[in-house]
Structure 1
Amino acid sequence: MRLLAPKRILGLLLLLAVLSPVLAATPLYPEMPAPAAKPDDSPILVALGRKLFFDTRLSEPRGTSCASCHAPAQAFSGNHGSRIGVALGSRPASLGTRNTPSVLYLRYTPPRFFYQDDDALAPIPFGGFFWDGRADTLAEQAQGPLFNPLEMNNRNPRQLARKLAQAYASDMRTQFGAAIFERPEQASQAAGRALQAFLRSDEMTPFSSKYDDYIRGTGKLDEIELRGLRLFKDPDKGNCASCHKFNDKSANPARSMFTDFGYDAVAAPRNRRIAENRNPGFYDVGLCKTAADLKWPDSSQWCGYFKTPSLRNVALRESYMHNGVFTSLRDAVAFYATRATNPGDWYKIGVKFDDVPAAYRENVNINSVPYNRREGSTPALSDSDVDDLVAFLKTLTDAQFVKLPTQSVRK
């Protein structure tokens, strides 16, 4: 680690004393890591993972697969027929509390860790899987829904191992050894590794969007899309690229993941259609529960933080934000644009940041553009700007999904 001169240390301490309330709500993320190398998973393991992903026999009761919530027609997102913004599980009455993100491009998500450099004022959480970063690896993430009672509802590894043995005995013994079913935990972990292989395969990283053609020099954006691109990058207007990082100067699409793999507290409005939210004392606190479980210092500072999702294929999603409160892409963009200036448009009961516990509302990001404007002032983005941004975001839809019939694209 590079040592700092005493005067610089004193200067940083004084700056921290003055700005700590501001900086606490505005994490500064590092430059994006180099794109992950192509995994060396065998085609046979990828094929096994694909079979598991689409297999409806692995839930309890049977009938629900990974693809039920991560539907190809929604670019591997979706909510399994639910209309309240969160996914329906394998049981008729089981509904989750979080929106289902796309599982495309997960090859590029780094493991969870704290980032700190010489000049960082505090460690910054980075990477990991799920909205709250509780899974460190993609294999760990892939196992989660199999045992979640609100999702695929297997009671334990033993129950899942029996199902795997009935359907995949030969395939799994070939891949993982003849004794794979002797220990159910190992069979469960093997299923996670197979699912991981499929999720990070080339099939799940297509890079076939209009935007990808544009940066490769094989296609063009029209005028409204170019205006949206400029607004997306403009630090005084949309400022979207501060968290949804990309590089339109590189012809390598893997440099444009449209996420910084970090976390932010944007205070999405409370989704009152979620059953748990009828209890005024229930809150989904996000990253701080993971932080507490991992014994991070001062874990409460991360309450209200959720992972910044990739915006690739964002126009195909059925709902938006971690709690699925919005059902249109335009509403999601307009929320970012006017949350600060017109809070009454979003927080219907007159309480700002109503889905964050009162004790943690100081964690909400109110410093970054466009969140830093006064209530009643002119928004950083006009209505036409919002339309331009939406037009640009639609260029991130991969080609194989553009012509698929879908109910999730709303005008």
Structure 2
Amino acid sequence: MLLAGLLSLPVEATNTPLYPEMPAPAVAPVDSPALVALGRKLFFDTRLSEPRGTSCAGCHAPQQAFSGNHGSRIGVALGSRPASLGTRNTPSVLYLRYTPPRFFYQDDDALAPIPFGGFFWDGRANTLAEQAQGPLFNPLEMNNRNPHQLAGKLAQGYTPEMRLLFGQAIFDQPAKATEAATLALAAFLRSDEMTPFNSRYDAYIRGSGKLEEAEMRGLRLFKDPDKGNCASCHKFNDRSSNPARSMFTDFGYDAVAVPRNRRIAENRNSKFYDAGLCKTADQLQWPDSSQWCGYFKTPSLRNVAVRESYMHNGVFTSLRDAVAFYATRATKPGDWYKTGVKFDDVPPAYRENVNINSVPYNRREGSTPALSDSDVDDLVAFLKTLTDAEFTKPIQSRKSDK
């Protein structure tokens, strides 16, 4: 099971390093203001898609804490072409400066090293620049055919700036121009603008604000290993005044077996499954890559309350439903798996990978859930304290902001 063969192999054979301890939070970036400014312009530029009209901000909408799905109402993103719908929910791109590259780490209670880090739901990008490049060429997103096509668009709008930053010959090779654009996008995504740390929770740990009674109850449930147990994956440290110690993710992966989103067109094919991390594991030649089928990245919960949809497939459209699923997946599976088939969005051959051991998944069907309905409400109340100040206004008023 859990990467049993890894320790017998040279670390280099996995293409992913094995760390003796968890890495510290990333330090502040040293990107130049000019590079950040260029990246910001590129992020909001609707001329960079094919056909034109879709920017990075189209899916990563500022008014929704840089998440959202470009107007799609089925839980996954709409691309630049009509009906070009993907199969995954758009994650927020805030706080990405703290996401490390892929690595393995063996905790004290783990049988073998397990993977952490990387970008996208399946960890397929190892760096922020690599992540920024993906949507530019994905036919279901911004749909550029190749670097030559994208470089032509960059040359039309950014020749002076890019030559100043990267040299006069930057457009001689389209691949180099594309790489430069992704470096600029990564610089913007690492910037202070994208790491605001001004939520009510941040004020609380800094000692400049208080949480309400229900929010404090939710905080205690979040930490309680016998109740919510949320902090086992959504790591944070409320004893530290440094908000970078409270990212509300361990940057790891888990197989929680969310219900199948039947609004996704591909899911009409009963043989189609999004298997998650195992495709990346296979490409990187990790030992026994199939053990990671059904695993997806644990997202940060910062600004979770302003998202349009939840989970990697966008199956839930309310935060309360997402929390309630964790609470009662094991005890009331019929509430979630409407066809009567448990774990229906995990390939049948890999349903043994699903996490059934951690609290609250370790309860028997029909038994009392670890969390009551009022506990779920308190958890939701706490999660709302993670919303940064600029996203607490009603969505309609935020849409009018520049």
TM-score, L = length of structure 1: 0.91
Q: What secondary structure sits across from 1:187 in the alignment?
A: helix
1:321 CA displacement? 0.2
Distance 1:109 1:346 in 2: 31
Task: Give the Cα–Cα distance (whole angstroms) in 2 for the partners of residues 32 and 148 of structure 1.
Answer: 32
**What SS does structure 1 have at the residue aligned with 2:104?**
strand
Equivalent residue, structure 2, for 1:209: 199
Q: Which letter maps to 1:222?
A: E
> Secondary structure at 1:386's aligned position in 2?
helix
Structure 1, gaps ≥5 residues long: 1-12, 14-28
What is aligned with 2:12? Answer: none
Q: Which residue of 2 aligns with 1:307?
A: 297
- How far the C-alpha of 1:404 sits from its partner, in A, is 4.3
Equivalent of 1:195 in 171, 185, 198: 185
The one-letter code matched in structure 2 to 1:168 is: Y
Residue in 1 aligned with 2:393? 403
Q: Could you say which residue in structure 2 is the equivalent of 1:246?
A: 236
1:352 has 2:342 as partner: yes
Deviation at 1:113, TM superposition (A): 1.8
CA distance in 2, matches of 1:407, 1:362: 46
Displacement, 1:122? 2.0
Distance (whole Å) between structure 1 residues aligned to residue 20 and residue 224 of structure 2? 19
1:336 matched to 2:326? The reply is: yes
Correspondence for 1:53: 43
Change (3 A) 1:393 1:32: farther
Distance in 1 (CA, whole Å) between partners of 2:125 and 2:234 is: 21
Q: Over aligned residue pairs, what C-alpha RMSD do you find?
A: 1.6
1:384 aligns with 2:374: yes
Deviation of the 1:116 alpha carbon: 4.0
Matches of 1:246 and 1:31, distance apart in 2: 17
1:35 is displaced (CA, Å) by 1.6
2:23 aligns to what? 33
Note if 1:284 corresponds to 2:274: yes
Q: CA deviation at 1:109?
A: 0.3
- Number of corresponding residues: 381
For the 8 Å contact 1:64–1:90, the answer to whether it is kept is yes
**Matched residues in 1 for 2:394 and 2:317: separation?**
19
Amino acid at match of 1:257: M
Q: In 2, Cα distance between the equivalents of 1:405 and 1:83?
A: 16
Amino acid at match of 1:365: N
Q: Secondary structure at the match of 1:76?
A: coil
Q: Is the 8 A contact 2:119 2:128 kept in 1?
A: yes
Gaps of 5+ in 2: 5-18
1:82 aligned partner: 72
Pick from 230, 233, 249 the counterpart of residue 220 of structure 2. 230
Query: In the alignment, is the contact (CA less than 8 A) between 1:333 and 1:390 conserved in 2?
Result: yes
Q: Who is 2:144 aligned against?
A: 154
Tell me which amino acid in the other structure corresponds to 1:69: C
Distance 1:404 1:204, change over 3 A: farther
Whether the 8 Å contact between 1:318 and 1:407 is mirrored in structure 2 is: no
Q: Deviations over 1:296-317 (max 9, x none)?
A: 1100000000000000000000
In the TM superposition, what is the alpha-carbon distance from 1:118 to its structure 2 partner?
Answer: 8.6
The two structures have a TM-score, normalised by structure 2, of 0.93
